[in-house]
Amino acid sequence: MCVRVGQAQARLYIWRREQYTIDAEAFGFGLRMNEQHVQGTNGGQVVVDSLIAHGVDTAFTVPGESFLNVIEALRHRRDAIRLLSTRHEGGAAFAAEAYGRLAGRPAAVFVSRGPGATNASIGVHTAMQGSTPLLLFIGHVRRRSKGREAFQEIDPQRMYAPVAKAVLEPENADEIAAVTASALTLATAGRPGPVVVVLPRDLTESPAETYTPGKPTPRAAVAADPHALARASRLLVQSQHPLIVAGETVSFERAGEILIDFAEASGAAVMSAYRQLDVFPNTHPAYAGHLEINRAPFQRNAFSASDLVIAVGTRLDGITTEDYTLLRPSQHLIHIYPDTQSVDRSNADAPVVADVGAALDELKKGLSPPTAERRNWRDQLHRDYLNFSTPGAVEVHGAVDMAAVVSLVAQALPEDAVVLTDGGSFARWVHRYYRFSLPRTYAGPVSGAMGYGVPGAMGAALARPRASIVVFVGDGSFMMTGQELLTAAEENLPIKIIVCDNQAQGSILLAQWQQFGPGNDYGTRTMSPDFVALARAYGAEAWRVIRTEDFSEQFQAALLHDGPALLHLITDQRDIAPYAAGKDAV
């Protein structure tokens, strides 16, 4: 559809059912009489000026000739925006996803049309599934070439509509500022997510006669309907064993303290949604663990006993809900989330479309002190979690015990360190045995995308420059985007990478064993390179670990190294995940 933005027209594509009204007054990016308009510049400069005006200070790219004027403008404004040139567009997008998740604001990604845009799609899809703000700018073909299957042309709207929150394209250079401001607003509005901006090459080369970069506008609050809150309050008061499932927008809103207060006032137990391990302190007496692909027996028992589930800031994704089978018909559901479409899908008894912080504050007002039975039930779940997350219960076949490795990492790191996990079954060792205390100290792909880890660690290092950054990555994942270690060395980002190498695509290998019998695998065993030599070739320091007892000393050496460092762990294919074989192991 076509909407008026300021004094210009812009093409705005939105695939979601929930439409966003775009107008200059609401978003604050229209032409203002009391602002000085900038004249005599080109569209590439307008993009960069607009990003700076709205507080964007980090960008990632694989440079392309279709947006040379943007790169030139970034060169002139490197005092205000730090640009990392990655080796692959997927790496750029993964880095931006981790940055957005940990910083709570979007980074910009610049890629070229066709191959660049398709390569970046994995990070955009990851940001959408993780509800992470991100901006992707695609340098597109010139307007006169559009629709002719020009060199490297794709249709960005048709391609990105299913995996992005919105796709926007200005009609002329004067519209670029308004469209950029709109993209920034949409990326953080309601449920956060990725927004794509298409920049035809001739627009970034063309003069912008008159424009204003605009000003940042606060994210609009999503207020709950009082009737929905009243319904939720009644269900909560009537409940005997309420169970909270906490997710991504708790972290985005920085509503962790509010959630703690609500859990204490209600006496509810708290579980974190899939790959949201840091939304609630793992040592708090209300915490009952992370909803991994595998469910611990005590967690299954908790859901069986719970008469009310309160989904707080989670869209209730497929892994968290066990492919949407988790809730039983007799169980009530309160769903608090700032997105109508996600709440509608859950069929909640009390659907509350709202920001979680304000909604929890309102619900807390109607609470009486929790009963002793409710507190005792919650406390027992926490004891079960502590037992479950203590190493020693899982038989290890190889010389490297991943449970012990994770515990040693946790002992060596300060509580504000950031830990990341890539896609793959090896990550479940971290998810089970690492206890997170503070918000925004974990990142990992909710989409399960392999290759997230190394570039994600770079994004984490820019979002949290004073924190220790440690990433666990499988050998298969490292081989997808591990070349970004060269980028980290070039930028002197002191990330620490732990490669868990079992020379297999472990998740699928285990699934083959379970479905077709041990030994009946095919296409899943792989050969690994010498990761120590490879890391050193990229400019990082590296060590190999073949026994658990060697890990601590070498990890300390990696932490002390001034720059990126890698530890190559040789693990056993029988130790793919910290769960017993059977239907719950994959």
- pLDDT value at residue 17: 30
* Domain edge (last residue) among 182, 208, 234: 208
* pLDDT at residue number 586: 35
pLDDT at site 580: 57
d(CA 87, CA 116): 11
502 domain residue, yes or no: yes
Q: Are residues 321 and 407 in the same domain?
A: no
Spell out the alpha helix ranges (H) of 246-325: 248-252, 256-266, 297-305
Q: Based on the domain organization, do 201 and 243 belong to the same domain? A: no
Is residue 220 assigned to a domain?
no
C-beta atoms surrounding 385 within 10 Å: 24
Whose CA is closest to 65, among 222, 201, 258?
Answer: 201
CATH classification at residue 295: 3.40.50.1220
pLDDT of residue 14: 37
Q: Residue 31's pLDDT is what?
A: 32
Q: What is the CATH number of the domain that holds 488?
A: 3.40.50.970
In-domain check, residue 221: no
Across the chain, what does the average pLDDT equal? Answer: 90
**Which H or E element spans position 90?**
helix 89-103
Same domain, 203 and 251: no
Residue ranges for the chain with pLDDT beneath 70: 1-40, 580-586
Crossing angle of helices 226-238 and 356-365, in 10° steps, is 60
Does 56 lie in the same domain as 150? yes
* The one-letter amino acid at 264: E
Distances (CA, A) of 225 to 23, 231, 361: 24, 10, 14
Question: How is residue 100 written in tokens?
Answer: 């957005």
Give residue 15's domain range: 2-208
Residue 440 lies in a domain: yes
Return all residues near 177 (Cβ < 8 A) that are at least 6 apart. Answer: 29, 46, 49, 50, 208, 211, 212, 213, 214
Please compute Rg for the chain using Cα positions: 24
Tell me if 175 is assigned to some domain: yes
Residue 582 lies in a domain: no
Residue finishing a domain among 365, 388, 411:
388
Q: Could you report the per-residue pLDDT of 434-479, keeping only the tens digit for each?
A: 999 999 999 999 999 999 999 999 999 999 999 999 999 999 999 9
> How far apart (Å, rounded) are the C-alpha atoms in residues 309 and 333?
5
Is the domain of 377 the same as that of 444? no
What is the C-alpha separation between 7 and 32, in angstroms, rounded? Answer: 11
Say yes or no: 324 and 298 in one domain. yes
Question: In this structure, are 65 and 196 located in the same domain?
Answer: yes
Of 356, 388, 420, which closes a domain?
A: 388
Count Cβ atoms below 10 Å from residue 250 Cβ, excluding itself: 27
What's the rounded Cα separation, in Å, for the pair 494 and 170?
39
Q: How many domains does the chain have?
A: 3
Q: Is residue 116 part of a domain?
A: yes
**Quick one: 415 and 300 in the same domain?**
no
Secondary structure (DSSP) of 411-439: HHS-TT-EEEE-SSTTHHHHHHH----SS
Shared domain check, 149 and 9:
yes
Tell me the pLDDT tens digit for each residue of 171-209. 988 899 999 999 999 999 999 999 999 999 989 998 887
Alpha-carbon torsion 310, 316, 319, 323, what sign? positive
- Give, in order, the Cα–Cα distances in Å from 108 to each of 17, 200, 210: 25, 17, 24
Q: Where are the beta strands (DSSP E) in 51-187?
A: 58-61, 82-85, 108-112, 134-140, 166-170
pLDDT at 330: 87
Tell me the C-alpha distance between 514 and 378, whole Å: 34
Dihedrals phi, psi of 442, to nearest 5 degrees: -140, 145
Both 446 and 491 in one domain: the answer is yes
| 369 phi and psi angles, rounded to 5 deg | -55, 140
- Regarding whether 565 and 431 lie in a shared domain, the answer is yes
Q: Is residue 539 part of a domain?
A: yes
pLDDT tens digits for 87-138?
Answer: 999 999 999 999 999 999 999 999 999 999 999 999 999 999 999 999 999 9
Which pLDDT value is given to residue 34?
Answer: 30
Contacts of 181 (CB under 8 A, 6+ apart): 27, 28, 29, 50, 54, 214, 217
pLDDT of residue 25: 36
Q: How far apart are the first and last CA of the chain?
A: 44
Written as one string, the DSSP assignment of 343-388 is HHHHT-SEEEES-HHHHHHHHHHTPPPPPHHHHHHHHHHHHHHHHH
Strand, helix or coil at 166? strand
Whether residues 32 and 170 share a domain: the answer is: yes
Q: What is the pLDDT of residue 517?
A: 87
